[in-house]
Amino acid sequence: MMQREDVHVVAARQPLDQPEQARHHALAAGAVDAAGHDEADAHAASASHERCRRDVPIRARVSPSNHEPSRRLVLRQAQDERSGEAMTKRARKTENRWTVLVAALLVLAPDPARPLMVARDTLDIYFIDVEGGQSTLLVTPAGDSLLVDTGYPGFDGRDPTRILAAARDAGVTRIDYLLITHFHTDHDGGVVDLARQIPIRTFIDHGGLLPTGDAEKDSTWPGYVALLNAYIPVRAKGKHLEPKPGDRLPLKGVDVVFVSSAAATIAKPVQGAGQPNPACEASAPPAQDPYENPRSTGFQLRFGTFRFIDLGDLSGPPLFALLCPSSLLGPADLYLVPHHGGPDVSYPATFAAVHPLVAIVNNGATKGGSPEVFAGLRRARGLHDVWQLHRSENQGAENFADDRIANLDEATGHWIKASANRDGSFTVTNGRTGVTKSYTARARP
């Protein structure tokens, strides 16, 4: 099980440690001591005024009766002096109380060098448009951040720029964990440029290079090696984790369990899973990329009763192992359809095993968003809505409603944002229109 060596807590106010408490008490005591001296001085001054006041009325009483107006003037002066002394005492006490309060505030004031956390009660998930790649930013109520993949390289830094825009919207000033699901250009391509612009504390990936042999003959091999060679020095600047299926990530307030990595999967169902999947009889894993996609590092996240699943580009036998003959994943409230909604994840067992309430397809205009997946989603039982990052231009693809499509054209960069509550309810917002739809918590067995 993975444990973080140090934990970053972004908070607007931190508990006082012992030196700070001592400083606080010293400041407060000093202020009270000063208040004591001020009151003593005030009593001395009051006594002096009282002696003067006794002298004045005595002289007034021996004055002739025809000087009565002067006598009243002297008495009024004495009353005014007594009133002024009382007001002076109250002002001094008020000033002393303010001195103590200011001293306390100086101790409790947040460190300006420490980033302030955006106050939130929800788990926020940004599905960032990287034109058919993947980049998903998760921010917990405690302010911990998990970024899943970084999109493409090049395009004048387009994808890192979009990631940073989502981070700013979420109040994130550094990435606590960066998960590279697998080493394909549309998933790890933006990491080098992104790391120049925002601190990344911990890198997570399945480790290792592709197998040799036939992989080296593939046309994508040179680009794969070049990106990996650029990524490794960046990764060395932070911590590095290689999770095994069943390991957990210590994100505060949520439970993240890895269900696949390096072509291996969990052997036992996660909490609430394990039910037989009747759709397995009509399903078989189709042929697909035999190299990186089945090595994808996928996870299930639980926040209260809310469930979210992200499997990267997992497909083929490893995906099938999670679904059949029983579902090891269990139902998801929110499900990111694997491999951008490509045809290799369209078989019925996929949606029957996960039984999503809402599905997200992180497709591009012509990448992913296949007719087969869209048709499978329309047949999925219990599915309320499908949200797309792009309108699919693939022939035969029957897109879902425009108000649930973030980008109707290429290169517009609008995200989809989900905000989940502990009771399982959540909202999904279209970054293009600002339209938000709410979903009630699903009944749990």
Residue 313 has phi, psi (to 5 degrees) of -105, 25
**Domain shared by 53 and 174, yes or no:** no
H/E stretch holding 261 reads strand 255-261
The reported pLDDT for the residue numbered 90 is 58
More confident residue, 106 or 156: 156
User: Does 40 fall in a domain?
Assistant: yes
- Tens of pLDDT, residue by residue over 161-188, are 999 999 999 999 999 999 999 999 999 9
The reported pLDDT for the residue numbered 291 is 79
User: Does 4 fall in a domain?
Assistant: no
Instruction: State mean pLDDT over 83-105.
Output: 53
**Domain shared by 71 and 211, yes or no:** no
Confirm if 338 and 316 have CB atoms less than 8 A apart. no
**Domain shared by 93 and 216, yes or no:** no
User: Does 114 fall in a domain?
Assistant: no
More confident residue, 316 or 286: 316
The reported pLDDT for the residue numbered 160 is 98
Q: Are strands 334-336 and 123-127 parallel, antiparallel or unpaired?
A: unpaired
User: Does 3 fall in a domain?
Assistant: no
Predicted confidence (pLDDT) at residue 360 exceeds the cutoff of 70 = yes
Predicted confidence (pLDDT) at residue 109 exceeds the cutoff of 70 = no
**How many Cβ atoms are within 10 Å of 393's Cβ, its own excluded?**
15
The last residue of one of the domains, among 58, 81, 108, is 108
The reported pLDDT for the residue numbered 141 is 96
**Domain shared by 286 and 218, yes or no:** yes
Confidence of residue 440 (pLDDT cuts 50, 70, 90): very high
Predicted confidence (pLDDT) at residue 27 exceeds the cutoff of 50 = no
The last residue of one of the domains, among 68, 85, 108, is 108
**Domain shared by 188 and 62, yes or no:** no
- Tens of pLDDT, residue by residue over 366-391, are 999 999 999 999 999 999 999 999 99
The last residue of one of the domains, among 54, 82, 108, is 108
**Domain shared by 31 and 180, yes or no:** no
Considering the chain, what is the average pLDDT of its residues? 80
Confidence of residue 48 (pLDDT cuts 50, 70, 90): very low
- Distance set, CA 215 to CA 132, 223, 228, 431 (Å): 23, 12, 15, 39
- Tens of pLDDT, residue by residue over 231-279, are 999 999 999 999 999 999 999 989 999 999 999 999 999 998 999 999 9
Residue range(s) defining the domain that contains residue 75: 18-108
The reported pLDDT for the residue numbered 221 is 82
More confident residue, 290 or 205: 205
The reported pLDDT for the residue numbered 208 is 78
Predicted confidence (pLDDT) at residue 54 exceeds the cutoff of 80 = no
- Compute the CA torsion angle 129, 133, 139, 144 (nearest 10 deg): -140
The reported pLDDT for the residue numbered 86 is 55
| Residue count of the chain | 445
**Domain shared by 216 and 262, yes or no:** yes
Instruction: State mean pLDDT over 97-120.
Output: 47
**Rounded CA gap, 364 and 342, in Å?**
11
**Domain shared by 281 and 384, yes or no:** yes
**Domain shared by 171 and 24, yes or no:** no
- Distance set, CA 256 to CA 138, 235, 271, 307, 361 (Å): 11, 22, 12, 10, 21
More confident residue, 126 or 22: 126
CATH code for the domain in which residue 253 is found: 3.60.15.10
User: Does 234 fall in a domain?
Assistant: yes
The reported pLDDT for the residue numbered 77 is 53
The reported pLDDT for the residue numbered 13 is 33
**Domain shared by 129 and 83, yes or no:** no
Predicted confidence (pLDDT) at residue 29 exceeds the cutoff of 50 = no
Q: For the chain, what is the domain count? A: 2
Predicted confidence (pLDDT) at residue 328 exceeds the cutoff of 60 = yes
Confidence of residue 224 (pLDDT cuts 50, 70, 90): confident
**Domain shared by 61 and 200, yes or no:** no
What is the sign, positive or negative, of the torsion defined by CA atoms of 64, 70, 71, 74?
A: negative
**Per residue, what are the HEC states of 278-304?**
HHHHHCCCCCCCCCCHHHCCEEEEEEC
pTM of the model: 0.74
The reported pLDDT for the residue numbered 216 is 76
**Rounded CA gap, 115 and 125, in Å?**
20
The reported pLDDT for the residue numbered 60 is 37
**Domain shared by 62 and 85, yes or no:** yes
